[in-house]
Each structure stands twice: as C-alpha cells, then as structure tokens.
Amino acid sequence: MSKANITRTLCLVKPDGVRRGLTGDILSRFERAGLRIVGLKLLVPTDEIARKHYRYEDIAVRHGEDVWNRLVSFLCSGPVVAFVLEGVDVVPVVRKMCGSTEPAASPPGTIRGDFCHHTYEYTNLKQGSVRNLIHASATDEEADYEISVWFEPSELVSYKKADHAEHFLD
Ligand code: ADP
C-alpha cells in the first residue's frame, strides 16, 4: 500500500466528554479500530485558539453568528483533549465513528449515538451549544489546517503499534 493512503485527522474530546469521563472510552474506540494516536494533549482552549479552530467563514456562515459564539464559548468552558489520528484514508473513517452532528440523529454504535442524545431544537431553546462530545476534521485539507492550529510539528510522533502489520500490511 502506498504511503499516500495513510492520512491524519484532528479530533477534540470537547469539554462535555472530558467532564463526563468519556475520554478513555472515546480513545479506545479509535485504538481498537487500528488507528494510531500520533499526537495527544489536554488543555483549556483560549478564545483565540477556539476561534482559529472554528473559523467564522465556516461556522458563522453555515450556522449563524449566534451558534458560532455559543460554540466557541462552550469549547473554552473546560479542558479538551486534542489528538491526531493516523490511518488508511482516516478522515471519513473517524467521521463515521463519530456519527451525525445532531446527537438525536446519530446512529447507535457511533460515539454520538451511544453517549449523547439531544437535539438542535433543545440546544437552541436553551441558548446553549449542542453537546456532541467530539470534533473530527471533515476533509484532508481541514485536517492539515486544524492539526497546525493545535500542534507544533515537533509534538507529533512516529511509531509502530504492535498490531501495525495487521492494519497497514507492512
Ligand atoms: P461537525 O462538528 O459534525 O463537523 P459542524 O462543523 O457543522 O459539525 O458544526 C460544528 C459544531 O457546531 C457542531 O459539532 C456543533 O457542536 C455545533 N452546531 C452545529 N450546528 C448547530 C446548531 N444548529 N445549533 C447548535 N450548535 C450547532
């Protein structure tokens, strides 16, 4: 297999996931799927990093400025676990494992389907931010950008997991 198929994605266990003690469950799902964690940190995001991550041109344009502001303030409300995963065409694989953005619409077996349940309607009624536990990059380009927001190149490591040959065939 060409190395070109091995790609990276940026994930965040959002403050709801960390506060609920779900970090280990979430990470272990990705490990069990054969994905490699190549970067990992726990931090309380600043407003600046949150607004760099959730770009105005993306979120405010797609969902409105109000949703963007609530999302940024939610992301800064406590610790997040930022991590980088590596695997074969990993971006869509990780999005599939996360499930749909709206928890109520997320199928069982996904992180959002198994661990949370509420709706946009309820979120908006409460003037809150949807509690969907995890962020994962949507495209390879977004992954490159988001990895650079959260990690210095020197913070990403290279190693082989014990089950490497089973997943990567080399
Ligand atoms: P995803 O996180 O699945 O990639 P988006 O990039 O569209 O989804 O949205 C980013 C985040 O914004 C979502 O994870 C969610 O926390 C929040 N969000 C999106 N749409 C809404 C909405 N209609 N009401 C409240 N929060 C929303």
Q: Is the CB of 123 under 6 A from ligand 1?
A: yes
55-100 pLDDT, tens digit per residue, is 999 999 999 999 999 999 999 999 999 999 999 999 999 999 999 9
Distance CA 144, CA 150 (A): 10
pTM comes to: 0.96
Mutate to test the pocket of ligand 1, among 10, 51, 63, 66 (most ligand atoms within 8 A of CB): 63
**Closest residue by Cα to residue 29 from 111, 130, 101:** 111
29-65 pLDDT, tens digit per residue, is 999 999 999 999 999 999 999 999 999 999 999 999 9
The percent helix, strand, coil of the chain (3-state, each to 5) is 50, 15, 35
Q: Is the CB of 101 under 6 A from ligand 1?
A: yes
Q: Which are the contacts of 91, defined by CB distance < 8 A and separation ≥ 6?
A: 7, 9, 136, 137, 138, 139, 140, 143
135 part of the active site: yes
